[in-house]
Amino acid sequence: MEANQEQVQDRVKRGTIHEGPKNHIIAFVISIFLTLLAFMAVANTALDATFIKIFIVILAIFQAVIQLAFWMHMKDRGHFFQILFLATGTFVAITAFIMAIYWVWW
Amino acid sequence: MAHSVKKYRGLMDWITTVDHKKIGILYFAAGGLFFVIGGIEALLIRLQLMFPLGADGESWLLSGQTYNEIMTMHGTTMIFLAAMPLIFGLMNAVVPLQIGARDVAFPFLNSLGFWTFFFGGVLLNISWFTGTVPDIGWTAYAPLSGTEFSGTGSDYYAIGLQIAGIGTLVGGINFLVTIINMRAPGMTFMRMPLFTWTSFITSGIILFAFPALAVGLIYISFDRLFDANFFVTATGGNSVLWEHIFWIFGHPEVYILILPAFGAISEVLPTFARKRLFGYSSMVFATALIGFLSFMVWAHHMFTTGMGDIANALFGVATMLIAIPTGIKVFNWLFTIWGGKIRFTTAMLYATSFIPTFVMGGVTGVMLAIPPADFQFHDSYFVVAHFHYVIVGGIVLSLLAAVFYWWPKMFGRMLNETLGKWSFWLFFSGFHLTFFIQHFLGLWGMPRRVFTYLPNQGWDTANFVSTIGAFFMAAGVIVILINVIISIKGPKAPADPWDGRTLEWSIPSPSPEYNFKQLPLVRGLDAFWLEKMDGKKEMTPAEPLGPIHMPSPSILPFFMSLGLFIAGFGFMYRGYEFDSALINSLFGNDIIAILGLAITFVCMFLRSVYDDHGYHIEVEELQKEG
């Protein structure tokens, strides 16, 4: 029973079968690299503290996107609702924080 | 291929069931029980306030402490243990049928959700027997809920709600997944009945709001049990933080309750007006908008906390915005029944009376949203009148409409219409008699949460009238209970008693355990009505008759929740000084907590390692049942 190559491709896109380790290995290397960068930035005393803070937050955002896209399969088809709910939850949380900080405590 | 499945009977059947219809009935039974308990507490409150403080300075019925306990338990019980489970019972009973599904997405979780809610509620109410009842109001503001000002009762509040909250969160996630994944062929999102839509949005709000409560309750528990200081100002905590956390949960919570109520009204009105729902897509939009805005307005409960003018103004405006989608809904309901062929059944009476009553609650809501005015209304009976108009006049009236509407589908028996109408008029007139005058009591200066008041301040008659109204409501509830008991021997319900529009009416009453023998093909909004208009008696099937896969019953959810229940007691009493040394050595330590958690984890372990693939109902069995 040899499966048709196109069918396999299609099913990979739909997320019904696993695509193999390639993307995960790439994502893993990038994750490690981002983590290393963050450690290096913090360890480097020559850098400005404010710069380090902003820099590692940006790294963290990239890290989160990669983790979600590859490890949590958000890039695959059929994840619309997961993305929708993550986005809504993030939006609600961020709005609440912004309101709390700038409206209530300011 | 088919293996025999262990079928339980009697009590074991109810404890082990994973069938959404039975779990719905369980929610109804438990929610109804707590509703009656909360109602008795309400009657005691009203009885106490019937007369002012006597000339001898003695309160005529309750002491201040007892009053605080009853008032706290009334609020907490009604919101968390009566309204929530009744809503969930309705969602369980109706949503899978309305979307043409055979069960919810996670039947096991469904059962777990019920049992955690139930044990949480039982734990909270056991405080009546241990003598230390929560006396901190349902809002449990810090520092009142801290160790300095309240006793073990606050632990019951925090732990009980924590356990019950797990059930709600689990149920919410379950319904999100069910509605997204398990709709029948052809049932697109914009063909879903409005009750399903509102359940969907409500589940989304639960998903985002209940974690806030869980976190807040963990903070309180840690403050109380493990000497943390989240809310202890003396050690650097912030007591206002609790208010924010509570209302970030608490405001969405009221929309969690009211949205399914809106949904039920949107089902009852079109059915009994024989018209399709007016402005369906704007109803969906309004529901989503309300769900969204519900997270942006929490601080309107805290105008007098001292947040400053800008915060007050902004939260006030945000609050008033909610009147827009709500107004859309109200007008859509009016246009739905406008020119319809109206049948005033009991359900329809409740549903139509809901509209003006809820509008009154909504209007006082907008009044309260104006910060300068709120400084006057705050902590007065005006607020009490407002939230009872939206919760009793809104949620309870629509829940009763829904109960009378869906009762035949849930139980296969008709409720008596004559008794139903009696209950309606008693409850409805009693409700307005009780709460309308409380607006004026508030404006005349009567503060809320007081256990007595001095005579001759102009409040005596109004309070007396209000209490009389409470007895009318109680009479209405008693008539409903009699109706329920009579219905056990009542006439059998046909499949479609109301000439309904949605899928649940296309299957027998009560529906068989697999709901749909063949999944129906949905061709549009009001799927069943479309088929009836084409002269068909039933839905067109979307699949051939085949064996139906069913989940196996399981006792594990019961024991998982029991474990949490025991652990809750363990945590509450681990540092408690008992009188007897023997009891102290048994209960005054961590053993009980560890034991309880061990039960829960062992159940989780068993669930993880034992694969249970369920069973099949074969074609022959389906044909035999006709």
- What angle in degrees, to the nearest 10, is found between the helix axes of A22-43 and A49-66? 170
Minimum CA–CA partner of B173 in chain A: A85
Q: Indicate whether B529 and B429 sit together in one domain.
A: yes
Contact between B101 and B179 (Cβ < 8 Å): no
Residue B578 has pLDDT above 90, yes or no: no
Q: Indicate whether B500 and B581 sit together in one domain.
A: no
Minimum CA–CA partner of A90 in chain B: B208
Determine the distance in angstroms separating the CA of A9 from the nearest CA of chain B, rounded to an integer: 24
Residue B5 lies in a domain: no
Task: Please give the angle made by the CA atoms of B44, B565 and B178, to the nearest 5 degrees.
Answer: 95
How much helix, strand and coil, in percent to the nearest 5, is found in chain A? 75, 0, 25
Contacting residues of B for A106, CB less than 8 Å apart: 308, 310-311
Give the residue from B150, B202, B145 showing the smallest Cα distance to B174: B202
**In this complex, is the C-beta atom of B244 within 8 Å of any C-beta atom belonging to chain A?**
yes
Contact between B220 and B142 (Cβ < 8 Å): yes
**DSSP reduced 3-state for A74:** coil
Contact between B290 and B321 (Cβ < 8 Å): no
Residue B506 lies in a domain: yes
Structure tokens at A43: 């360890």
% of chain B residues with pLDDT over 70: 99
Q: What is the CATH number of the domain that holds B135?
A: 1.20.210.10
Structure tokens at B349: 């009476």
Query: If you average pLDDT over residues B283-309, what whole number do you get?
Result: 93
pLDDT in tens, B230-276: 999 898 889 999 999 999 999 999 999 999 999 999 999 999 999 99
Determine the distance in angstroms separating the CA of B207 from the nearest CA of chain A, rounded to an integer: 9
Domain endpoint, select from B518, B544, B570: B544
**In this complex, is the C-beta atom of B289 within 8 Å of any C-beta atom belonging to chain A?**
no
Residue A1 has pLDDT above 60, yes or no: no
Residue B366 lies in a domain: yes
DSSP bridge pairs for B68:
none
Q: Indicate whether B498 and B576 sit together in one domain.
A: no
Give me the helices (H) in B77-188, please: 84-98, 107-130, 152-181
pLDDT attached to residue A11: 64
**In this complex, is the C-beta atom of B47 within 8 Å of any C-beta atom belonging to chain A?**
no
Number of C-beta neighbours around residue B575 at 10 A: 13
pLDDT attached to residue B575: 81
Mutate which: B200, B201, B206, B248, vs A, most A CBs within 10 A: B248
**In this complex, is the C-beta atom of B288 within 8 Å of any C-beta atom belonging to chain A?**
no
Residue B401 lies in a domain: yes
Residue B549 lies in a domain: no
Q: Indicate whether B37 and B59 sit together in one domain.
A: yes
pLDDT in tens, A29-74: 999 999 999 999 999 888 888 999 999 999 999 999 998 888 888 8
Determine the distance in angstroms separating the CA of A80 from the nearest CA of chain B, rounded to an integer: 11
Contacting residues of A for B215, CB less than 8 Å apart: none
Query: If you average pLDDT over residues B379-393, what whole number do you get?
Result: 96
Asked if B299 and A106 come within 8 Å (Cβ–Cβ), the reply is no
pLDDT in tens, B341-380: 999 999 999 999 999 999 999 999 999 999 999 999 999 9
CA distance B531 to B525: 11
Q: Which domain holds residue B560?
A: 555-626
Q: Indicate whether B503 and B584 sit together in one domain.
A: no
Asked if A100 and B244 come within 8 Å (Cβ–Cβ), the reply is yes
Residue B1 has pLDDT above 50, yes or no: no
Domain endpoint, select from B544, B567, B597: B544
pLDDT attached to residue B6: 65
* Mean pLDDT over each residue of chain B, to the nearest integer: 94
pLDDT attached to residue B55: 85
Give the nearest partner residue to A92 out of B208, B244, B310, using CB atoms: B208
CA end-to-end span of chain B: 23
The one-letter amino acid code at B211 reads P
CA distance A61 to A55: 10
Residue B235 lies in a domain: yes
Q: Residue B23: in which H helix or E strand, if any?
A: helix B20-50
**In this complex, is the C-beta atom of B321 within 8 Å of any C-beta atom belonging to chain A?**
no
Give the nearest partner residue to B307 out of A92, A95, A104, using CB atoms: A104
Determine the distance in angstroms separating the CA of A79 from the nearest CA of chain B, rounded to an integer: 11
Q: Indicate whether B345 and B366 sit together in one domain.
A: yes
Asked if A89 and B208 come within 8 Å (Cβ–Cβ), the reply is yes
ipTM: 0.77
Q: Work out how many CB contacts closer than 8 A connect A with B.
A: 34
Determine the distance in angstroms separating the CA of B252 from the nearest CA of chain A, rounded to an integer: 11
Q: Indicate whether B489 and B610 sit together in one domain.
A: no
* Mean pLDDT over each residue of chain A, to the nearest integer: 82
Residue B2 has pLDDT above 50, yes or no: no
Q: For chain B, how many structural domains are there in total?
A: 2
Burial of B375 (0-12, 13-18, 19+ CB in 10 A): exposed
Asked if A96 and B248 come within 8 Å (Cβ–Cβ), the reply is yes
Domain endpoint, select from B496, B513, B544: B544
Residue B195 has pLDDT above 90, yes or no: yes
Measured in whole angstroms, the distance separating CA B523 from the mean position of its chain's CA atoms is: 32
Q: Indicate whether B378 and B252 sit together in one domain.
A: yes
DSSP bridge pairs for B541:
B520
